[in-house]
A and B are shown apart, each in its own frame.
Chain A
């Protein structure tokens, strides 16, 4: 489950190409000579997809072995290139987070951008590495995972409690045998006393 790239674009009103505002790509697993072409490819595809995503809508596009997820919110578009195993829902919640973070840090200044910005945004790079595991991005997934772990632990607990119950049962048997034996012992001792008092 891998995220290859995250981008934030500004979607122009119909007709012109979107403007790239932030770009974080992880092309390390391609060969050295392919890297720049892969980057170009990412830029081109993200521009095309962002252009085709209407405002307020989410879109998922399958391209060769990648899934491109895009979410357009009021003209600000976040795009993620993920492989097929990354769950769609976590992808979109990640895009949501990225957009929120972008708006928090840059406010409305992105609306004025006209050319591709080349400066990197460190949050996006961190996000790329942090969110390789979809559970990080998607709180629901995290909660579900923790709940499953808790359930497993509870099952083990119940098994051990059942074993404890069995041991307690055997203990109760033994203790009842013990008390019966001690009672017989007492009676025997009493009888001893009564019988031989004549002699």
Chain B
């Protein structure tokens, strides 16, 4: 059973193995006796079953490798389409189809690789040489790596596409005001695919799918005037319908975030208020101390002045004493002169 050419990191030794098996069978069958025959038969069966397992394994591995190759080809086509998209000529439908197909392929390949690994593990529990087991594990690892790189490329392509769309949306907003409703549609579709989570995807996908179908029927009926008007509005409304669920949820989320940030700001304002008030408290204490000092000074000064007053009022006795002494001096002076 030939292994696919692309899996080149290991050698295909099936032919050698089969030739060895033939040789061993021949050598066993040449020995006489039933034991030899039965053992050889069982050995041959074992070998054949091993060969069958190996070929089964190889077949699966080759299928998976081929699938990965096809998926990467589709991915390159998608990348080309995504790069090519311009403002007005948007191959949205194709891109989304290809994206859906690629996603399905990747999930299928993923499950196939997991199955292959289980199969390989279950088979390894039998009596097989270490070479085969290492060979099979190498094959499985290689397939897994390839699948991972393909998935990564897929994600890159999707992000590139969303960036392109954003750029186009900005340019469109610059040039016209009414066409801005066109872009959320692919966003709404891309988001579930890009995130690849089951809950988000299953919620969003049926709703917008229903929404776009219903709104397109609604508007041609409601508008009785010219044809172009309903068509334009139809497209706009179709685009509007799809993100309405999202818009509603988004606006709720925005409002909640606003409330949260306002509360946060209020908290900061309260903190600042507390800081200011505590600083002013210090200032008030300083004022209090200053007043106490003033009080003490004034009282001391009052005491000093009282003493001065006392000393002033009692000074006359001193003066009389001094006058007496002066008069005595005068008298003595007069006695000596006269």
Chain A residues with CB under 8 Å of chain B are 48-49, 52-54, 56-61, 63, 88-89, 92, 140-141, 143-144, 147-148, 150-151, 154-155, 157-158, 161-162, 164-165, 168-169, 171-172, 175-176, 178-179, 182-183, 185-186, 188-190, 192-193, 196-197, 199
Contacts and interface: CB of A to CB of B under 8 A. Distances in A.
Contact of A165 (B214, B215, B280, B291): B280
A190 B304 contact: yes
B152 interface: no
A88 B269 CA distance: 32
Contacts of B262: 144, 147-148, 151
Interface in B230-271: 237, 240-241, 244-245, 247-248, 251-252, 255-256, 258-259, 262-263, 265-266, 269-270
B229 interface: no
A188 B297 CA distance: 11
A60 B217 CA distance: 15
27 contacts: A52-B214, A52-B218, A54-B211, A88-B247, A92-B248, A143-B259, A144-B259, A147-B266, A150-B266, A161-B277, A165-B283, A168-B284, A168-B287, A169-B283, A172-B287, A178-B290, A178-B294, A182-B293, A185-B297, A186-B298, A186-B304, A188-B301, A189-B305, A192-B308, A193-B307, A193-B308, A196-B311
A161 B259 contact: no
Contacts of B215: 52, 59
A185 B298 contact: yes
B207 interface: yes
A176 B292 CA distance: 10
A70 to B, nearest CB: 11
A171 B287 contact: yes
A56 B311 contact: no
B289 to A, nearest CB: 9
B272 interface: yes
Nearest to B247: A88
A94 to B, nearest CB: 13
9 closest A-B pairs (Cβ-Cβ)? A182-B297, A189-B304, A175-B290, A186-B301, A179-B294, A54-B210, A179-B293, A52-B218, A147-B262
B286 interface: yes
A172 B285 CA distance: 9
A158 B272 contact: yes
Interface string B19-45: 000000000000000000000000000
Contacts of A183: 293, 297
A158 B276 contact: yes
Given A168-B284, A185-B297, A186-B298, A147 B263 contact: yes
B282 to A, nearest CB: 10
A157 B244 CA distance: 42
B283 to A, nearest CB: 5
Chain A residues touching B, majority SS: helix
Given A59-B211, A61-B237, A182-B298, A165 B279 contact: yes
A168 B287 CA distance: 8
A17 to B, nearest CB: 13
Given A175-B290, A175-B291, A197-B311, 18 more contacts: A52-B217, A60-B244, A61-B222, A63-B222, A88-B247, A88-B248, A147-B259, A147-B262, A151-B269, A154-B269, A165-B280, A175-B294, A178-B291, A186-B297, A186-B301, A189-B301, A193-B304, A196-B312
A176 B290 contact: yes
B300 interface: yes
B259 A57 contact: no
A151 B266 contact: yes
B221 interface: yes
Given A52-B218, A178-B294, A196-B311, A59 B244 contact: yes
B315 interface: yes
A55 to B, nearest CB: 9
A61 B297 contact: no
A149 B240 CA distance: 34
Interface in B279-338: 279-280, 283-284, 286-287, 290-291, 293-294, 297-298, 300-301, 304-305, 307-308, 311-312, 315
